[in-house]
Chains A and B, each alone.
Chain A
Amino acid sequence: MNGLIRLELTRALRNRKFLFFSVLYPSLLFLLIAGSADSTSKVDGTGLTLPTYMMVSMASFGALTAVLMGNSERIAKERESGWVRQLRLTTLPGRGYVLAKTASAAVVSLPSIVIVFAVAAVVKDVRLDAWQWLALTGAIWAGSLVFAALGVALGYLASGDAVRPITMITYFGLSILGGLWMPTTSFPSWLQDIAKWVPTHAYAALGQAIEQSQAPHAKDLVVLVVSFALFTGGAAWLYRKDTLKA
């Protein structure tokens, strides 16, 4: 099991394109969006400055990229190539494969979160209390598990050529509707009503609540917990179906 995590990680760290998009890209996007914003204008109804607000959005976006993009496509590919079958002939427990993938994605997502924070603090002078930095890191990191489960489910849902467009649509849909690229307060009100229920919105709201020194909203927690249950359940169901078919 540890051997597989190590190898998955070695492979992920070797893949420059993946590293760029999951680790550096969110920080670059942060600079692009928040770079010219002054540090006094507030995002409507949040009491947070644009850089502070976008820092959490982009850290969440980076974690989302790391856990969703790599895994869904790889799982679909490795199911097709028969690597998943080969692993079933080893002592690795059935779930070990999925867990190793999730664990290695989690290792990559951590630096992507931390780098966004560092860039925000250094370039845009975002200042928070020590507990807030720690809580933010923990919340965003832990919350990314919801989307790791989604990535696994997608990997087992579609195969080969179909998985990439499905992943892309899901990824951009979640990013935009969840308000990771721009505050949802700039959306028309009907879209805001939809966005409220998108799990990535709840995910970013978790971090923003920490920045506001508030307790997280119960509704956001419920959305995340229900999403996690749905994605994990879906992944488990698809996984079992795939295992019987193989």
Chain B
Amino acid sequence: MTTTALNTTTPVVAFDQVSKSYGSVRAVDGLTLALHPGETVALLGPNGAGKSTTLDLLLGLKQPDSGTVGLFGTDPRSAIVAGRVGAMLQSGGLMDEVTVAELVRLACDLHPRPYKVADVLSRAGVTQIADRKVDKLSGGQAQRVRFALATAGDSDLIVLDEPTTGMDVTTRQAFWATMREQAAQGRTVLFATHYLEEADAIADRVLVLHRGRLLADGTAAEIKAKAGVRRISFDLADGTVDESVLRDLPFLTTLAVSGRTVRIQSSDADATVHALYGLGLYPLGLEVTGLGLEQAFVAITTAEEARTS
């Protein structure tokens, strides 16, 4: 182990004002962040938020247009050559016409501090399919083989891009159990996902990415509160709509009244509805719907933009 590993002041990952555009599209826009040793971090965002580009920049597969990306105090390629990073990409293909075991053996060969092939296979849950040809695997099996490749040696950082894509519920749970083991051994784990529940269950820190910008950075609970906005809509009998009264409802984030119809967004819908009845009002056709993650992001963005302008 090198001295930088013991030096906790060196961030595992350091992005400084990193931007990357494709034509006129800004995939990553002035991103600054630091990950510290031992953290399990979820990179959360809807499709097209810039998650994959961020991971590509982090791993040195893409070069930023501006800003700097550091891994363990050095550049991404040097960190990879030193065997400090294990990564599993969504776009990472596998070699055809070889068996799972042969491919994992290759990954072990290429790692400066490899584990035993049998151990890597069993930890990734692919021992049963070790002799199967790689091109004959199901989507979920291929994901587990990718995971095996990413964990073939003693790396300090594990990077996973939407790792559970194509897995059924059971394998998904087994997968995260394995992932927690990795984290428990003191590794830094960074994974991209668009499932808030996954981020909530696994990560101790959640980064919310939207349009290439870091929207929120906090514990899962904090993010959940922010993204937990619900939409409440109901009608009121004529003459009973008094906007100023509604505006004072607790946990209300937005209010829109058109005619008899009231639309509210609330960060705690239960409390808001309870207070609504407490006012002595009689809402008709009451509906409470959750915002999808994507809409929740929009809600957070709108709130952020309103605050800054």
A interface list, Cβ under 8 A from B = 2-4, 7, 10-11, 14-15, 77-78, 80-86, 88-92, 244, 246
Contact indicator A85/B107 (Cβ below 8 Å): no
- For residue A84, which residues in chain B have a CB less than 8 angstroms away from its CB? 93
- For residue B109, which residues in chain A have a CB less than 8 angstroms away from its CB? 2-4
Please tell me the size bucket of the interface on B.
Answer: 20 to 34
- For residue A91, which residues in chain B have a CB less than 8 angstroms away from its CB? 80-81, 83, 110-112
- For residue B91, which residues in chain A have a CB less than 8 angstroms away from its CB? 82, 85
- For residue B105, which residues in chain A have a CB less than 8 angstroms away from its CB? 3, 7
B interface list, Cβ under 8 A from A = 59-63, 80-81, 83, 85-87, 89, 91-98, 102-103, 105-107, 109-112, 146, 149
User: Given A82-B92, A85-B61, A90-B111: A15 and B97 within 8 A (CB)?
Assistant: yes
User: Given A2-B109, A92-B110: A10 and B102 within 8 A (CB)?
Assistant: yes
Contact indicator B98/A7 (Cβ below 8 Å): yes
- For residue B107, which residues in chain A have a CB less than 8 angstroms away from its CB? 90
CA distance A244 to B20 in the complex (A): 13
Q: B221 to chain A: closest CB distance in Å? A: 33
Contact indicator B87/A89 (Cβ below 8 Å): yes
4 closest A-B pairs by beta carbon, nearest first, are: A81-B93, A3-B109, A82-B93, A86-B92
Q: A243 to chain B: closest CB distance in Å? A: 9
Q: A173 to chain B: closest CB distance in Å? A: 28
> Closest B-chain residue to A244, C-beta based?
B63
Q: B159 to chain A: closest CB distance in Å? A: 8
- For residue A80, which residues in chain B have a CB less than 8 angstroms away from its CB? 93
CA distance A11 to B97 in the complex (A): 6
Contact indicator A81/B94 (Cβ below 8 Å): yes
Interface of B, helix, strand, loop or mixed by DSSP: loop
> Closest A-chain residue to B146, C-beta based?
A86
Contact indicator B106/A7 (Cβ below 8 Å): yes
Contact indicator A85/B110 (Cβ below 8 Å): no
Task: List, sorted by A's number, 20 A–B pairs whose CB atoms are closer than 8 Å.
Answer: A3-B106, A4-B110, A7-B105, A7-B106, A10-B98, A14-B97, A78-B96, A81-B94, A82-B89, A82-B91, A83-B93, A83-B95, A85-B61, A85-B89, A86-B92, A86-B149, A89-B87, A89-B89, A91-B81, A91-B111
Contact indicator B102/A7 (Cβ below 8 Å): yes
- For residue A82, which residues in chain B have a CB less than 8 angstroms away from its CB? 89, 91-93
CA distance A7 to B133 in the complex (A): 13
CA distance A235 to B248 in the complex (A): 69
> Closest A-chain residue to B87, C-beta based?
A89
- For residue B96, which residues in chain A have a CB less than 8 angstroms away from its CB? 11, 77-78, 81
Contact indicator A90/B110 (Cβ below 8 Å): yes
- For residue A88, which residues in chain B have a CB less than 8 angstroms away from its CB? 60-61
A7-B106, A85-B89, A90-B111 are known contacts; what are 11 more A-B pairs with Cβ within 8 Å?
A4-B106, A4-B109, A10-B98, A11-B97, A83-B94, A83-B95, A85-B61, A86-B146, A90-B110, A91-B111, A246-B61
Contact indicator A85/B93 (Cβ below 8 Å): yes
Contact indicator A7/B95 (Cβ below 8 Å): yes
Contact indicator A78/B95 (Cβ below 8 Å): yes
CA distance A92 to B96 in the complex (A): 18
